[in-house]
Amino acid sequence: MPVPYLLVSDEKGNIFELKEYEVTGRAGYGVSRLDESDFIELPHGSELFYLPGRNPVGFHRKKQCFEVVENQLAVAAFVAPAYTQTWLAAYEKQDDACLLPLYAYAAVGWYKGKYYTTALRVDKEKRQDPACFDIHEVEKKVIEFRKKYPRNRLVEHLAENCALNYHCRAAQNYFLGRWECPLPTARVCNASCLGCLSFQPEENNINPAQYRLGFKPTVEEIVEVATGHLETVENPVVSFGQGCEGEPLLEGELIENAIAEIRKKTKKGVINLNTNAGKPEVLEKLCRAGLQSIRISLNSAIEDWYIRYFNPRNYGFQDVLDSFRVASDYHLWISVNYFVFPGLTDSCPEYEAFTTLLNRFQINMIQWRNFNIDPDWYLEKIQPPDDMKHYGIKNLLNMIHEKYPSIRYGYFNPYFEEGAATGKLYQNKR
């Protein structure tokens, strides 16, 4: 298969291919030709977007040069969960272009009746594969859960807002009785991330993907949801820290008490925390209460890049490192929720900083997450060097695997047996 044809769009969103152009890929500021090995068939559950105010950049097959295609709009793929994008869509931004919504924008093309994108699958689990979900079955289960827990506000939030309104796959899985159950608890946050999915300042003119939890659940509400899931589901995980809330470590006492009560009622399953890790002293209390797994979010292991994205309040990058230390000391399963941005994540300075982190702490898993952000906006805020070299995302994954073969790759928080949070249970699977 040759490199796929470039896709373009008109102002109405009609998408078509230009056979005289190859798809090109963007990494950081640069645009590159691609190879057929860069592409996979567009996964089921992915979506196509046209990009307002952005003209596509393709490689002209006959002229053998890069060209900006005037009077057309660029097209990008939002790749389905469990897949990590390796190249961004290439375009030239117009001066009056608005900020793009909070999605990831992978390169995408067309060849012989199929869409192709630049991505690879990093997690074999089917937790969020569209074929696993029947909305009618979800609605049926929601009715059953509402009858079973008529006064539990957390169940109602997961039902009405998450499963039915936002179509959150984690919430839908809770009602379908499988895999990971979300336990949102926090209404506020101690960071102002550029790409926050639940809060955006008006001046950004970006709609959040969902709105934050509007109440503080009780210990009893949390325990009722968690124990019901842990006791009845095969290989269950329950997780504090969701997209519909702030930072769970700001509700440390509530979560500490909830974990303790959960473990009085059941020893089954894994209790996980998704966090920015800005409060290591609170994390230590949760570890003592029975927390088993943690996922720490990073856009970068370089302090300046981290600060410019997270905009932390009342904590610093050293606090994040201290949380890695605490989690290591208590032998938690440690995952890095790593926001992948081609050209920066795979850059030479980021590789050096990230491998330093991997050398320092007992990290069990890297979740290679697509970065939902306008690429130009992110680069404007981070201000990386113009001439920075990068390895390529696929090469980066291979390099880290060769250096740290015990670290598992994935996209979702894993279930593991008691005592297995040392990294020895799993081999790297990609």
pLDDT at 140: 97
116 and 173 within one domain: no
91 and 177 within one domain: no
Q: Is 252 exposed, middle or buried (0-12, 13-18, 19+ CB in 10 A)?
A: buried
Q: How far is CA 49 from CA 21, 41, 75, 383, 405, in A?
A: 19, 17, 6, 26, 36
63 and 165 within one domain: no
**Cα within 13 Å of Cα(289), Cβ side:** 20
pLDDT at 208: 80
Domain boundary among 64, 91, 121: 121
Give mean pLDDT, residues 41-61.
Answer: 97
**201 within a domain of the structure (yes/no):** yes
Domain boundary among 62, 93, 121: 121
* For residue 312, pLDDT beyond 90: yes
**424 within a domain of the structure (yes/no):** no
Structure tokens at 233: 């589901």
325 and 279 within one domain: yes
Find the distance separating the first CA and the last CA of the chain, reported in whole Å: 23
**48 within a domain of the structure (yes/no):** yes
The band of 423, judged by pLDDT with boundaries at 50, 70 and 90, is very low
Mean pLDDT computed over every residue of the chain = 94
Rounded CA separation 207/418 (Å)? 41
64 and 134 within one domain: no
Structure tokens at 254: 């509530």
Rounded CA separation 427/170 (Å)? 25
Structure tokens at 88: 């961004």
pLDDT at 205: 82
What percent of the chain has pLDDT above 90? 90
For the chain, what's the residue count? 430
**99 within a domain of the structure (yes/no):** yes
**377 within a domain of the structure (yes/no):** yes
Identity of residue 417: E
* For residue 427, pLDDT beyond 60: no
253 versus 426: the higher-pLDDT residue is 253
The band of 429, judged by pLDDT with boundaries at 50, 70 and 90, is very low
* For residue 343, pLDDT beyond 80: yes
Structure tokens at 15: 């998408």
* For residue 70, pLDDT beyond 60: yes
**197 within a domain of the structure (yes/no):** yes
| 200 contact partners, CB below 8 Å, separation of at least 6 | 102, 206, 207, 208
pLDDT at 199: 85
* For residue 420, pLDDT beyond 80: no
Identity of residue 351: Y
Note the pLDDT tens digit of each residue in 157-182: 999 999 999 999 999 999 999 999 99
Give mean pLDDT, residues 79-94.
Answer: 97
* For residue 198, pLDDT beyond 90: no
143 and 110 within one domain: no
Residue 80: strand, helix, or coil = coil
| 198 contact partners, CB below 8 Å, separation of at least 6 | 208, 209, 210, 211, 212, 243, 244, 245, 246
Q: Kind of pairing, strands 333-340 and 293-298?
A: parallel
Rounded CA separation 158/258 (Å)? 18
* For residue 268, pLDDT beyond 90: yes
**47 within a domain of the structure (yes/no):** yes
265 and 160 within one domain: yes
39 and 145 within one domain: no
pLDDT at 211: 83
Domain boundary among 121, 147, 167: 121
Residue 83: strand, helix, or coil = strand
**Cα within 13 Å of Cα(49), Cβ side:** 20
Rounded CA separation 261/160 (Å)? 26
97 and 142 within one domain: no
Q: Is 214 exposed, middle or buried (0-12, 13-18, 19+ CB in 10 A)?
A: exposed
* For residue 354, pLDDT beyond 50: yes
| CATH code of residue 293 | 3.20.20.70
Q: Which residue range forms the structural domain that includes residue 274?
A: 130-410
Backbone φ and ψ for 229, nearest 5 degrees, come out as -75, -50
Note the pLDDT tens digit of each residue in 225-236: 999 999 999 999
**How many whole angstroms from its chain centre is CA 179?**
17
The band of 387, judged by pLDDT with boundaries at 50, 70 and 90, is confident
Q: Provide the number of structural domains found in the chain.
A: 2
Q: Is 143 exposed, middle or buried (0-12, 13-18, 19+ CB in 10 A)?
A: exposed
pLDDT at 426: 29
What residue has token string 């937790």?
127
The band of 424, judged by pLDDT with boundaries at 50, 70 and 90, is very low
* Angle between helices 280-289 and 252-265 in degrees, nearest 10: 10
**430 within a domain of the structure (yes/no):** no
pLDDT at 418: 58
200 versus 254: the higher-pLDDT residue is 254
Give mean pLDDT, residues 285-295.
Answer: 97
pLDDT at 38: 97
What residue has token string 């073969």?
405
Do 247 and 254 meet the contact criterion of CB atoms below 8 Å apart?
Answer: no
Q: Kind of pairing, strands 365-370 and 333-340?
A: parallel
pLDDT at 1: 79
Among 341, 379, 374, 394, which Cα is nearest to 49's?
A: 374
Note the pLDDT tens digit of each residue in 3-41: 999 999 999 999 999 999 999 999 999 999 999 999 999
68 and 102 within one domain: yes
185 and 68 within one domain: no
150 and 73 within one domain: no
Residue-by-residue DSSP string for 284-317: HHHHHHT--EEEEEES-SSHHHHHHHH-BSS--H
Structure tokens at 38: 């860069």
